[in-house]
């Protein structure tokens, strides 16, 4: 259900009943592309986001798809890799990364695309406590300019109090 919710919000699945609104605009076939420009997603399994031979190739691919100029691409790669502390990973193959490093790369790919809202589907799955703390610190750094929507099964306690937390439960 959680990943289905993420896919519905991103317009990757059709809504059967009800509606999804973003800034008062209903998500539908005519608005999905416009809304996707505002939304970025980090999937529960970050391996689903990787296509390049190196981490830097993956980042470049994501930025090329957004028609980012080569100069700006290099600036963003430099800026975000430093902020996320992953410059040492740029030449590595994404498949060789640890769970926490993969999750940071997934977050990097989404942050570097300059989306207003980041949707994170179980961003701590397969990540050890140290990396969870590092990732939370990253969210705090970027909270100034971004909105985050976490979809979590557990670990609500790791979300800092500076974030609003809403819980959805099954109706009786």
Active site residues: 122
Q: Sheet harboring 117-121: ordered strands across? A: 39-42, 117-121, 147-151
Please state, in angstroms and as integers, the Cα–Cα distance from residue 38 to each residue in 117, 142, 158, following that order: 6, 15, 26
Closest CA to 78 of 96, 64, 59, 61: 59
Tokens of 172: 């009786």
């Amino acid at each position: 259900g959680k990943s289905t919710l993420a896919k519905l919000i991103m317009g990757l699945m059709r809504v059967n009943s009800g509606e999804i609104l973003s800034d008062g605009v209903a998500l539908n076939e005519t608005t999905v592309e416009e809304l996707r420009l505002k939304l970025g997603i980090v999937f529960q399994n970050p391996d689903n986001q990787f296509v390049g031979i190196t981490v830097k190739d993956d980042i470049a691919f994501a930025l090329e798809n957004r028609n980012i100029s080569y100069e700006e691409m290099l600036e963003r790669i430099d800026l975000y890799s430093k902020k996320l502390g992953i410059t040492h990973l740029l030449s590595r193959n994404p498949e060789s990364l640890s769970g926490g490093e993969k999750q940071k790369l997934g977050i990097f790919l989404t942050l570097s695309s300059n989306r207003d809202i980041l949707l994170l589907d179980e961003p701590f799955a397969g990540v050890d406590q140290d990396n969870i703390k590092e990732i939370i610190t990253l969210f705090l750094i970027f909270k100034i300019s971004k909105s985050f929507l976490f979809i979590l099964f557990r670990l609500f306690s790791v979300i800092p109090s500076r974030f609003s937390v809403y819980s959805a439960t099954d109706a009786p």
